[in-house]
Structure 1
Amino acid sequence: MKTVSSVRELRAAVAEARAAGKRVGLVPTMGNLHSGHAALVRRATQLADFVVASIFVNPMQFGANEDLDKYPRTLAADQETLFEAGCDLLFAPTVAEMYPRGMQGQTRVSVPGVSEGLCGGSRPGHFDGVSTVVCKLFNMALPDLAVFGEKDFQQLAVIRRMVSDLNMPIEIFGEPTVRAEDGLALSSRNGYLTAEQRAAAPRLYATLMQMAARLRDGKSDISALIRDGARQLEEAGLRPDYLEVREASNLQPATLEDRHCVILAAAYLGTTRLIDNLAVDLGDSAKS
């Protein structure tokens, strides 16, 4: 696996792969990689002949009081993870390479609708930062496809809408969330948790599972479902940021008539913000 830091080197490597008739896949990351990221790369190797991963801690998607400065930079370990997962090329640019005119002078990409509310409501400007940097990475690497994790469900929806609206010739694939044995979704931010907080963290996914069971049973209206779920999180020591049930395709608030829903949550344990989601297919048998 080769590591490059400039757009010129990236494009040269991709052009060489294309000249050999290879299909190019991209896996954008912010580094501090875990087995969930490795699963994205492995999926990309199944879909493409030449896999590019990027590591860039994007300052544009961090708010003023968020953890940009303390976000772990673990390049050597990340290179090993990517190599073992089958990555062919790592693009690890500097901020100056990504934003040569600075972030204030950077053209931005905004995706309305699906970026609003949920994480978009809690983190103003976050998804403009995400869509802008992903758009730039797409234009730099020119991939045929890209793979993203479904743990960041709203982010995946934003990227899919951006690709559709801007007629980008890129296939977007979602990879199921990778979880620890106790159900906690793997995240780079899990490393911030104390031992006590880590023991409580699986209650987030357990609450989503209980809510999904009640949705399938059809015995609870959605507002009561959310209210009870929030109470369960608080009783477990988590501080809910949001807990919502949305229609899966457009992220509009769900009704009991919707057949494909997703329960989305963000909650704090101390200062660590965890997110998770669970898709619920109600089919034709759910009661309304």
Structure 2
Amino acid sequence: MATSSTVQAWELGIRLKERRDELGMTVAAAGKATGLGGANLSAIETGKRKMPAFRMPDVAKVYGLTEDEMSTLEELRVGADRREWYHDYAQIYSNDFVRFLGFEAGAASVRTYQGEVIPGLLQTADYARAMIRGGGPYIRPVDVDARVESRMRRQERLTGEDPLKLWAVVGEAALLQQVGGREVMRGQLEHLLGLPRESVELRVMPFSVGSHPLIGNSAVVFTFAAPRLPDVLWHESVTAQTIVENRGKVLEVAASFEDASERALDQADSQARIRQALKELA
């Protein structure tokens, strides 16, 4: 079962919060009793800070944890301490985007909608480079290669023994927008036609559909193998990037994705539309 240190830190935090709630303790009270402090404990519960190993016995005592419960939490704590490949890129990305990479690396499946561009997990290096170079005035030229490299490393989850399951819906406009020019787009469309069918389901949203629940938006919803972990949403705009855990909002976007997916072309027709777009570039 695929996981990541980010996901394990998050699960550890969720389990600790559940136990604290069962005991009826506030964050401040539990933080004081365990020696962690309220602010640190709050960050640990959201998976944004690591649990110090030397505080585990204090947590076990205050929370009244059994040996089996402690064994599970210690396994998660050790996993959360692990350094992952995406940590190497922390200097060029925001904390929220590094966390996004961690969720993606540890997810069981991803549902994504993009109206105008090919999703990052499906981009060629040339397409990614053109996107990054045109992505904004604050991306330093010296960081372009590292950003392309990290995007390519993300795609390793689509293959292997435990591949990520990806459901992607892309707008027809994404097939026609000549990111990087005609040669780059030819390579990108050919790449889409060769995606591994066992892990990727790609559907094209045709112009003829008109309005649909996700029009004008983008969406990425992560689902995890551990039953305790809820789905989360990645929200991105020109000025903000954030992980959304609010259950109501996540369910709304997930339902909108299912609706959009049903309105999109099926896989066979989507492949035909991609081939048509490729032919038009000849």
Same fold per TM (> 0.5)? no
Greater RCO (Cα-Cα under 8 Å, separation 6 or more): 2
More strand by share: 1
Q: Shorter-normalised TM-score: what interval?
A: under 0.3
More helix by share: 2
